[in-house]
Amino acid sequence: KAGVTQTPRYLIKTRGQQVTLSCSPISGHRSVSWYQQTPGQGLQFLFEYFSETQRNKGNFPGRFSGRQFSNSRSEMNVSTLELGDSALYLCASSLGRANTEAFFGQGTRLTVV
């Protein structure tokens, strides 16, 4: 069974640009969550999608957005990039029932210069 796949693995962008990250969940999983990991703030929840609907949202500005497709694949977009957006972005998939375990991808390392 394939795991969670995130693409690309590494990305370098310039301040002010926008970026789109992709996540393919484990087959059969309908929930996809996104997390930002930085040395200063640790792991912070961005948002969760279930069956193409955003079900939970963290405390991030509107520049961070996401969507989920009918095949459960998800994308997140960050517009008007800032230096502080440099981070490891992790995607997690799960069955979508409360308190079930989440399986993480290897992450996308975004560097904003």
Partner 1 sequence: GNSVTQMEGPVTLSEEAFLTINCTYTATGYPSLFWYVQYPGEGLQLLLKATKADDKGSNKGFEATYRKETTSFHLEKGSVQVSDSAVYFCALTYNTDKLIFGTGTRLQVFP
Is residue 101 a contact point for partner 1 (CB under 8 A)?
A: yes
Q: If you search the block for the tokens 């459960």, which residue do you land on?
A: 72
Count of all residues that appear for the chain in the document? 113
Which of 76, 81, 107, 110 is close enough to bind partner 1 by CB under 8 A? 107
Closest separation between CB of residue 37 and partner 1, Å?
9
Is residue 26 a contact point for partner 1 (CB under 8 A)?
A: no
Query: Which C-beta is closer to partner 1: that of 71 or that of 100?
Result: 100
SS3 of the chain: the string is CCCCEEECCEEEECCCCCEEEEEECCCCCCEEEEEEEECCCEEEEEEEEECCEEEEECCCCCCEEEEECCCCCEEEEECCCCHHHCEEEEEEEECCCCCCCCEECCCEEEEEC
Is residue 27 a contact point for partner 1 (CB under 8 A)?
A: no
Query: Which C-beta is closer to partner 1: that of 35 or that of 112?
Result: 35
Span 29-58, contacts to partner 1 by CB under 8 A:
31, 33, 35, 42-43, 45, 48, 50, 55-56, 58
Query: Which C-beta is closer to partner 1: that of 31 or that of 72?
Result: 31
